[in-house]
Amino acid sequence: MSSVLTSRKDDYAQWYNDIVLKGGLADYSAVRGCMVIKPHGYALWENMQHVLDKMFKDTGHQNAYFPLFIPKSFLSKEAAHVEGFAKECAVVTHYRLKNDPNGGGVIVDPEAKLEEELIVRPTSETIIWSTYKNWVQSYRDLPLLINQWANVVRWEMRTRLFLRTAEFLWQEGHTAHATREEAIEETRKMLDVYATFAEEYMAVPVIRGVKTANERFAGAEDTYCIEALMQDGKALQAGTSHFLGQNFAKAFDVQFSNKENKMDYVWATSWGVSTRLVGALVMAHSDDNGLVLPPRLAPLQVVIVPIYNKDMEARKRIDDTAATIMKELKAKGISVKYDNDDNTRPGWKFAEYELKGIPVRIAMGPRDLENGQAEVARRDTKEKASYQLEGLAASIEQLLADIQQQMFERALKFRDENITKVDSWDDFVKVLDEKAGFISAHWDGTPETEEKIKEMTKATIRCIPLNNEQEAGKCVLTGNASSQRVLFARAY
RNA sequence: CGGGGAGUAGCGCAGGCCGGUAGCGCAUCUGGUUUGGGACCAGGGGGUCGCAGGUUCGAAUCCUGUCUCCCCGACCA
């Protein structure tokens, strides 16, 4: 079979681009740094949305929607927050165009300058907290548990499909609580939601951890994260959950009367995952033949490909059998498509559905039917086997579950094999260059050392794992005392 | 913003040094034969060669300017 993809071994970055483009997930757009999400990619995102949305609602959250535009003055109210986002904000300065009197087409009307410029949201903390001020008076109004599905814009210098684009889709949860403890509990709870989603649906194992000061969200007291490992040994932050303390409450004066009738500032959290998850999914599982999608998120779970010949009666038998199987699969909630398009031949279809990552393919020809069988191929391992038509739907249901499970286990094994304990600087550099993956090493806890390591190796501290084992040791760079190991990696 | 690469048919590319009717593969359309891993035969359609100037009898090709995209880096989810 002629491969349409660059192989991972030859050029990992190019392989990723190829697979996103040729797998039908996205296209480049006319706008620099922005992508068009195509139906297959968007269906994947929709499936993620549905699952996450249910998880958010099951944990008591409601959806709302806040404006795309943020008054410039809002952004400057929380010092650390401005610092973090100022460099990548798109700004709306005018509200009208007009025809160029010199005939150069349409131009910005200089008369139509905005009194106060508007920022296209890079995240919504400021607009949301300015609103929450009006919503919260009493402890009885708390907790306030809101999520929004939205697009945001961050003017990135360098972009990559799904992983980092100027505009991206995400959800952002913003909650307000009466106590510090409750807000921290919320932060951790949502981190667990993300971890569960990543592992049980995306089949991507993640490490839950807390970020160091250097990597913390601008304006947060603590940033929790889930970190995943991609096939090239680079780490990817797949989701974050922030404990914001009272920073935004103070910046936007969000106070409430507590049970003792005293005024207090509320405690805040925010948490988000984005379309970046699609990129994570691709890089965690896919291979040189195309996408490999976990059954629980795949836009299409099963495709049936008929193998026709000249015998029209045999053709009808295949069509009828396929119709029966489809009905049984659909009754089990399994998505299935029958591709009897006569313009492409079976081999072409096989390759195409592999490229698209459809988890299970059923092929049926006259020979199979004579034996009361169908050929079933699984995308993850590319194994093929003959299955009895009798009870096929149940077998497929089981197979989908097995694929989901095995994809996770394979990724977990890879991840665990690529966490390397290192106790010397030489080994640190060597492992980073030769093996990559996560490096578990002692760190003296100072931002300066972390920064130095980043400058020297491009590796950052991805997180301090939760429930981390306490172990006395010496910092891998400075030799200073350390009480625990942290995870380093080069990251996306 | 630095370094590298690239813009020629829907996609992938050749042609350019040495200016002279714009080509190849895939895709597409028509007809036929086919169908168990990206089918075959025959015929057809499709192009302001990124854009703007310039040189020239004549520019995809030479010159100047400009825009865009990709990769690597700085910044970041």
Name the band, by pLDDT with cuts 50, 70 and 90, for residue A81.
Answer: confident
Taking the C1' atom of every nucleotide in all shown strands and the CA of A366, the nearest one is B36
pLDDT at residue A429 in the model:
92
Q: How many CB atoms lie within 10 A of CB A92?
A: 14
**Whole-number distance in Å between A9 CA and B72 C1':** 17
Residues 6+ apart with CB under 8 A from A294: A201, A202, A203, A281, A285, A359, A403, A404, A407, A408
**Between the ranges A74-83, A133-142, A155-164, where is the mean pLDDT highest?**
A133-142
**Whole-number distance in Å between A179 CA and B34 C1':** 73
Above 90 in pLDDT, residue A31? no
Of the candidates A131, A345, A364, A126, which has an alpha carbon nearest to the alpha carbon of residue A251? A126
* Residue A492 token pair: 């996306």
Name the band, by pLDDT with cuts 50, 70 and 90, for residue A104.
Answer: low
Residues 6+ apart with CB under 8 A from A313: none
Q: How do residues A346-374 score in pLDDT, each as one tens digit?
A: 999 999 999 999 999 999 999 999 999 99
Contact flag, residue A2 CB and nucleic strand B, below 7 A: yes
Q: How do residues A220-269 score in pLDDT, each as one tens digit?
A: 999 999 999 999 999 999 999 999 999 999 999 999 999 999 999 999 99
**Whole-number distance in Å between A94 CA and B69 C1':** 28
Average pLDDT, chain A: 93
Residue numbers in A 32-91, CB below 7 Å of strand B: 32-33, 84, 87-88
Which residue approaches B37 most closely, CA to C1'? A347
Q: How do residues A106-117 score in pLDDT, each as one tens digit?
A: 778 888 889 999
Taking the C1' atom of every nucleotide in all shown strands and the CA of A236, the nearest one is B77
A438-442 and A419-421 beta bridge pairing:
parallel
The fraction of chain A above a pLDDT of 90, given in percent, is 79
Domains of chain A, start order: 12-68+130-285 (3.30.930.10), 302-402 (3.40.50.800), 419-489 (3.30.110.30)
Taking the C1' atom of every nucleotide in all shown strands and the CA of A33, the nearest one is B69
Contact flag, residue A274 CB and nucleic strand B, below 7 A: yes
When pLDDT is averaged across residues A373-384 and rounded to a whole number, the result is 97
Q: How do residues A394-420 score in pLDDT, each as one tens digit?
A: 999 999 999 999 999 999 999 999 999
Rounded-to-integer distance, Cα A213 and Cα A226, Å: 16
**Whole-number distance in Å between A456 CA and B11 C1':** 42
Buried b vs exposed e over A254-287: b needs ≥16 C-beta within 10 Å? bbbeeeeeeeebbbbbbbbbbbbbbbbbbbbbbb
pLDDT at residue A387 in the model:
98
* Residue A488 token pair: 């380093």
pLDDT at residue A14 in the model:
82
Q: Which residues pair with A475 in a beta bridge?
A: none
ipTM, two decimals, is 0.87
Name the band, by pLDDT with cuts 50, 70 and 90, for residue A101.
Answer: confident
Above 80 in pLDDT, residue A105? no
**Whole-number distance in Å between A32 CA and B2 C1':** 19
Taking the C1' atom of every nucleotide in all shown strands and the CA of A352, the nearest one is B38
Q: Are A479 and A455 a contacting pair, CB within 8 Å?
A: no
Q: Are A146 and A128 a contacting pair, CB within 8 Å?
A: yes
User: Where does A286-424 have alpha helices with state H?
Assistant: 312-331, 346-356, 366-370, 392-417
Query: Which positions in strand B are less than 7 Å from the protein's CB atoms?
Result: 1, 28, 34-39, 68-77
Residue numbers in A 383-422, CB below 7 Å of strand B: 384
Helix (H/G/I), strand (E/B), else coil: A411: helix
pLDDT at residue A221 in the model:
95
**Whole-number distance in Å between A392 CA and B28 C1':** 39
* Residue A416 token pair: 């665990």
Q: Are A77 and A215 a contacting pair, CB within 8 Å?
A: no
Rounded-to-integer distance, Cα A475 and Cα A424, Å: 9
Running DSSP on this structure, what letter comes out for residue A86? G
pLDDT at residue A1 in the model:
38
When pLDDT is averaged across residues A277-301 and rounded to a whole number, the result is 95
Rounded-to-integer distance, Cα A204 and Cα A47, Å: 16
Taking the C1' atom of every nucleotide in all shown strands and the CA of A159, the nearest one is B76
